[in-house]
Structure 1
């Protein structure tokens, strides 16, 4: 596998992060709201996760073509995009694209092997 091709798997860190934020928010709301209203917010949060976050198509591969040109592979097929900028947050990297139809992609540390993660960080710094 060459250094410009990154095969992504599902991220446990992303799921744990979302769960931690939801748990903290629910603990705060438990202190502030009556139990019946808190249960309504709990159900609303679970429904929002199931409808919006769980059903989003996952990017399965990123291929660096040339310069800022990349190919995104997802369940729906391949899409050629141009990166506008990259933000490195140490635990994850966010890729922003120039086209409005391509949503930003978050690549978590546990989605790729350590060697690929290091080369991805170097490539992000070069762009």
Structure 2
């Protein structure tokens, strides 16, 4: 596999982080609200997760083409995208695209093997 083609797996770190934040919010709401309202908030939280986040298309592959041009592949389609800027947060990398409607892409450290993760960090520093 070329060091410019990154096949992304599902992130367990992202799911763990989201569950942790949800648990903290539910704990705080448990302290503040009556039990009935707390249960309603819990059901709404799970419902919102399944309606909005769970159905977002999973990015399967990110491939460096030239300069700021990248190829982004989902299950259904492949897009050619231009990256505006990249922010490295050590545990994850946020990729922002030039097209205003394109959502930023979060790449967690557990989505790639360690060698490819380091290669991606080097490529993002060059942008």
Coarse TM-score class (shorter-chain normalised)? over 0.9
Question: Could you tell me which residue of structure 2 aligns to residue 109 of structure 1?
Answer: 109
Query: What is the aligned-residue RMSD (CA, Å)?
Result: 0.6
Normalised by the length of structure 2, the TM-score is 0.98
CA contact (8 A) 1:86 1:93 kept: yes
Between the aligned partners of 1:30 and 1:20, the Cα distance in structure 2 is 15
Between the aligned partners of 1:80 and 1:102, the Cα distance in structure 2 is 12
Deviations 1:62-116 (A, max 9, x none): 0000010000000121000000000001110000000123211100000000000
Q: Structure 2, unaligned stretches of length 5 or more?
A: none
Question: Could you tell me which residue of structure 1 aligns to residue 61 of structure 2?
Answer: 61
Question: Could you tell me which residue of structure 2 aligns to residue 10 of structure 1?
Answer: 10
Question: Could you tell me which residue of structure 2 aligns to residue 98 of structure 1?
Answer: 98
Between the aligned partners of 1:60 and 1:3, the Cα distance in structure 2 is 16
Q: Which runs of structure 1 show a deviation greater than 4 angstroms over 4 or more consecutive aligned residues?
A: none
Question: Could you tell me which residue of structure 2 aligns to residue 82 of structure 1?
Answer: 82
How many residues are treated as equivalent by the alignment? Answer: 127
Between the aligned partners of 2:41 and 2:104, the Cα distance in structure 1 is 28
Between the aligned partners of 1:88 and 1:51, the Cα distance in structure 2 is 29
Question: Could you tell me which residue of structure 2 aligns to residue 125 of structure 1?
Answer: 125
